[in-house]
Structures are given as C-alpha cells and as structure tokens.
Chains A and B, each alone.
Chain A
C-alpha cells in the first residue's frame, strides 16, 4: 500500500508502509468501521459533559457583553498564510476546490475572526466570541487533529484596560467552568523581540526566534555566544523570569522598557477585577503564532499538563486584512478544560412512554402535553402485554412500570403530577 505523500507537488515524496520487507496488507477493520487518525466521535454522555463546560463559557462571555460569531470551517489557503504566516503551513489540512482553488480547514479561530471583522464588521469596536472545532493536518502527540475551542476577540481598543478585561474574563470563564486552582500567566511578545534585538544577532536572528518558538534552549544557547551576557542570561533563563519580582529583574536588563511598561499597566488595571490573586507575571510565555505584538497570556490548572487557554494582543493582524485595528483575545482548549473541570455533565433523564395500539391516541395526546410542559419524553409502541420501564399506556389502563418489572396503575391525577415533574 503505497501512499502518495505530496505537499503541493503530488507524488513527489512517496512513502511505503513496510514491515519486515513486506508491504503491509492491512488487517485493520475497513475504513467505514473506523475513523482517520486523530479524529473522534462524541457519545451523548461525552457530549453532555462538553456542552456543560461550553455552556459555562458561553454564559460568561455573554455576561461580559460579548456576541457570538461563526465563520466557516474552510477558507482560502491564502487567508491562512496571510494571517498566520507560512511557518505552520505544513500543519494545515488542505483541500482542493472544484475550481482548483486551494482551501484549508481552520487551524485556529483568531485569523478568521480578524478577517471577518476587517472585511465585514462596520463598527470599529467589537467584542466577539466563538465556539467551534479547529483542525490540524499533522498528528502531534496530543493525537488530535480536530479539537473544540471557544474563545473571545476584543477588537478596537489598544489600551491596558482592554488587555485587563480579557485577562479577567479568562480567569472568570475558567472559574465558572469549575476549574480549580486557575493560574494565569502574563508575558509580552514585544519583550521577547526586544531581547532578541539586543542579542546582536543578524543573519541568525530568525533562526534564534524559531528556536525560541520551538522552546529549544539548547540551539538558542549555541547561537547566543556573542550576545551581551545579561541578555544571553535572560533569554536562556526565560522560564524562570516569572512571579513577584520578575518585572523588576527584567527592568534591570535595560531592554524592552516599552513592553514592560505595558505589562505593568495591565497588571495595575487587572487589580479592579476580583481575579488578581490568580494572575502573575510570566515573561517566559512563548506563544507559537507570530502575530502577537503585545501582552500574551496562558492559563494553567493543577492536573493539566498543558495550558488550558492561550492568547494575547495582536495589533497588526487586522491590518493584514485591510483594516488596521488593535485587538486582543484568547482561545480555550475545551477538552483540556473538560479534563480538569469539576462540573461534569450528566445526561438529562428522559421519560420513557410505551403505548399499546388501542391506547395510542390517548398516549400521544398526553405526551404532547408533557413535552409542552417541558418534560423530555420518548414515546415507543409496545407489543401487547409487554411491559417496559416507565409510563405504559395499555388497553387495560395506564401503568407505572419500575425497572424490576413491578407495576402499579396510575389515576388521572397521577398523570397530572407527572406533568409537574413529580414522580407519581
């Protein structure tokens, strides 16, 4: 089974799956019985839990005055390369349109929302949120290629107050979703750039930045041999530039003053919200989308080995879509929140109603009333004489059948009690 593995040029790179010299004859189930790697189904139980978490986030976003927006899962490939740059292009799911146009499934939501606001939104200020799946073409060891996200984008305000609002909203949203021990770290993309600028690197600067994005401090260290000692030290010790006193230590470097001033203003503005105890400076935060220009944030919780949400300020992204406007936002990784949330969703109980043919009209009339009263009701025809747990409309009257098969007759007032949500 030789697969074509082209990226762009079809058939250019081919791969064979071989084992001990033989091509593998797959003994796996046929494709229609399974799913492509990294994709999953959600059962009603699993989905109930996801929707519960999602609902908490939605309600919080709404309470803060944000409006929901939806963009398509597919957009032109060019939209993505324009928005994200070509670096992560390899990770895109690319689709060829009927007309030969290259489209790609969305790998994140900030670019499409920026594209939407820049091209379709009449006002200069927008508070928007979204809920939807994003797709990555390559399998990481997260093993997912589709994962649900929810997030906010606050467009049009460049100040520290807008940043602080988004930071406080991040904390509030996770707390509403019953995530215990939420911590939010605040860094600054401009500070990292200033450090790289001060390192004296010229042709290797891009390589150093890539190494930093990959969190490869070994390569970074080898590139920084000629850098001023304090700058080199700060870059290599970035992960520890956090917590109380980190701002002071960073100021001591005499680099990135503007960025540090901005961060300090955000911290001050956050004081007004009841979340300051969950927020700390973390100048080592490295976000891997390079559209960030200002404050960046990540949230953590005990029990999750990866950030629950991430985001930051991206003041030049909308300009790439023709409408220069400052903006800030974050995206929540819903599966990770689900794993740490103490909320847990449960399937709402459904009242099972069985009816024998002669009692059908009576049963269905009652079922209609019950649904109108807000009950969840499933009505199913039953063979004569058979008993199923729940409510049973039979030729010989209406019965309440327990799980163990025992039953008792119901009077009209019992049926009314059921309508009010009481068990007869």
Chain B
C-alpha cells in the first residue's frame, strides 16, 4: 500500500508546516537539495504552490494538505477541512490610503479595489451592496493605490507593517485566516486509518497535549 501523501504549501507557511510535522513525530529530509518530494518514513511529503494545493488534494494526487484559510475561502473546493493548525495567523482586510479613508464612509461610492482574492472581494462587497470594481493582481497589491491603479486594496495583513509602510489604513476586516489541514474525501474513506493517525498526531501538537 502506498504511503500517505501530504502536500505542503511553499512560501510563508512552509517552515511552520515542516516544524509541525516534526513535532508530531515525523522525520525526514526537508529539501535543502530543492527537491519537491520528500520521503518521511510512512509519509510522502510534496511541496506545491499554495494556489495549486487544493488541486493536488481535490484530485487525489495528495491525500492531505496544509493550506491557508484564505485560499479555502477564495477557491471553490470539495475537500474536508479538518484541523485548524493555528499557525500562519493573518487577517484579510480592506485598506485605503490614510488621506482617502473618507471614501469608505460613503457606501454608495464606487471603489476600485486591488486584490489577490477576487472571489472573496466580490462576495464581501456584494453582500454589503457596495459598488466596486475589482482589480485582480498576483502580488504587491499595496502598490496599486500608490500609483493610482486602485482606490484601495483587499489583502492579507500579519503585523500591519506593510500597510503602514505604504501609508494604508485598515477600514474593514473581511476574514481571519490560519493554516488548515485538508483531506481528500476519498482518502478519508479509503485510507481512513492512516488519515486518522495523522490528524490525531497533529491535533495533539496543536492543542499542546504531550
């Protein structure tokens, strides 16, 4: 029987995800040789782009995955979201330049908002009945209002330092995010024992049970 495959997201969550697996008692190489597939005893660990992660898990190429709640909110998916892993804590907020924050006070005002989360943004503004034009970007979203590409942004904040450095102030919180353990629905059944073992070991670490 093939080993359980766990997909980890490259980027900001990777280090914490590796640390969590180690704390849960899994051991193996962590890709200093830049390989993207690591054999960790009974686990096969693969490293994928965060935006692709749900694709791997949903199609069963990986049985489980670690992914930010922000990605789960943005992408439609059919995976099981089983554990809040607690790390990667951040918030999705709408932010405007400090000297233009008054634009937010008028709910009829048409806003241009730059974001990596077009679906989340669409839903957020739609539910509040606020007219909006969503500018879809893939990175450095905070740049957009500075160069007149948009009035504001909807983006992740961790410490708020990036917002401050770019003269932006938060006007609304859209969501809170942490890393989550997700599982393919068929793996949950066909490989239930192995998945349960992983879930309970991770849960013990997350909840601080020795």
B-binding residues in A (CB < 8 A): 2, 5, 7, 12-19, 21, 138-142, 183, 185, 214-219, 221, 239-240, 242-243, 282, 284, 300, 302, 304-307
A141: which B residues are within 8 A, CB to CB? Answer: 54-55, 58-59, 75-77
B186→A305 contact, CB < 8 A: yes
Q: Nearest residue in B to A138 (C-beta to C-beta)? A: B76
Q: Could you tell me the distance in whole angstroms from the C-beta of A310 to the nearest C-beta in chain B? A: 10
Which one of B58, B132, B186 has the highest number of Cβ atoms from chain A below 10 Å of its Cβ? B186
Q: Nearest residue in B to A140 (C-beta to C-beta)? A: B76
- Given A141-B54, A242-B189; A217-B82 close (CB under 8 Å): yes
B30 within 8 A of A: no
Interface residues on B, range: 35 or more
A15→B185 contact, CB < 8 A: no
B136: which A residues are within 8 A, CB to CB? Answer: 15-18
A305→B135 contact, CB < 8 A: no
A304→B186 contact, CB < 8 A: yes
Q: How many angstroms from the CA of A242 to the CA of B192 in the assembled complex? A: 10
Q: Could you tell me the distance in whole angstroms from the C-beta of A311 to the nearest C-beta in chain B? A: 16
Choose, from B21-29, B41-49, B118-126, the stretch at the interface.
B118-126
Q: List 24 A-B contacts (CB under 8 A).
A: A12-B131, A13-B126, A14-B134, A15-B133, A15-B135, A15-B136, A16-B136, A141-B55, A183-B189, A215-B78, A217-B82, A218-B83, A218-B84, A218-B180, A219-B81, A239-B189, A243-B192, A300-B186, A300-B189, A304-B60, A306-B59, A306-B78, A306-B185, A307-B185
Which one of B55, B78, B84 has the highest number of Cβ atoms from chain A below 10 Å of its Cβ? B78
Q: How many angstroms from the CA of A55 to the CA of B72 in the assembled complex? A: 38
Q: How many angstroms from the CA of A138 to the CA of B76 in the assembled complex? A: 9
Beyond A218-B69, A242-B192, list 19 extra A-B contacts (CB 8 Å): A7-B126, A13-B122, A14-B132, A15-B122, A16-B134, A16-B135, A140-B76, A141-B58, A183-B190, A215-B80, A216-B81, A217-B81, A218-B83, A219-B81, A239-B188, A305-B61, A306-B58, A306-B59, A307-B186
A140→B78 contact, CB < 8 A: yes
B187: which A residues are within 8 A, CB to CB? Answer: 305
B83: which A residues are within 8 A, CB to CB? Answer: 217-218
Type the 1/0 row for B109-151, where 1 means its CB is closer than 8 Å to any CB of A: 0000000001000100110000111111110000000010100
B80: which A residues are within 8 A, CB to CB? Answer: 215, 217, 239
Q: How many angstroms from the CA of A307 to the CA of B80 in the assembled complex? A: 14
Q: How many angstroms from the CA of A138 to the CA of B134 in the assembled complex? A: 17
Q: Could you tell me the distance in whole angstroms from the C-beta of A10 to the nearest C-beta in chain B? A: 12
- Given A18-B136, A300-B190; A240-B196 close (CB under 8 Å): yes
Q: Nearest residue in B to A11 (C-beta to C-beta)? A: B131
Q: Could you tell me the distance in whole angstroms from the C-beta of A359 to the nearest C-beta in chain B? A: 55
B79→A13 contact, CB < 8 A: no
A142→B135 contact, CB < 8 A: no
Residues 146-164 of B contacting A (Cβ, < 8 Å): 147, 149
Q: Which of A13, A139, A284, A302 contacts B190 (CB 8 A)?
A: A302
A215→B126 contact, CB < 8 A: no
A21→B192 contact, CB < 8 A: no
B79→A215 contact, CB < 8 A: yes
A16→B133 contact, CB < 8 A: yes
Residues 170-187 of B contacting A (Cβ, < 8 Å): 180, 183-187
Q: How many angstroms from the CA of A240 to the CA of B183 in the assembled complex? A: 13
Q: Could you tell me the distance in whole angstroms from the C-beta of B143 to the nearest C-beta in chain A? A: 8
Q: Could you tell me the distance in whole angstroms from the C-beta of B40 to the nearest C-beta in chain A? A: 22
Q: Nearest residue in B to A222 (C-beta to C-beta)? A: B84
A14: which B residues are within 8 A, CB to CB? Answer: 132-134
Q: Which of B59, B60, B125, B138 contacts A13 (CB 8 A)?
A: B125
B72: which A residues are within 8 A, CB to CB? Answer: 216
Q: How many angstroms from the CA of A18 to the CA of B118 in the assembled complex? A: 12
Q: Which of A5, A19, A221 contacts B122 (CB 8 A)?
A: A5
B132→A185 contact, CB < 8 A: no
Which one of B79, B125, B147 has the highest number of Cβ atoms from chain A below 10 Å of its Cβ? B79
5 closest Cβ contacts across the A-B interface? A305-B60, A215-B80, A14-B133, A218-B84, A140-B76
A307: which B residues are within 8 A, CB to CB? Answer: 185-186
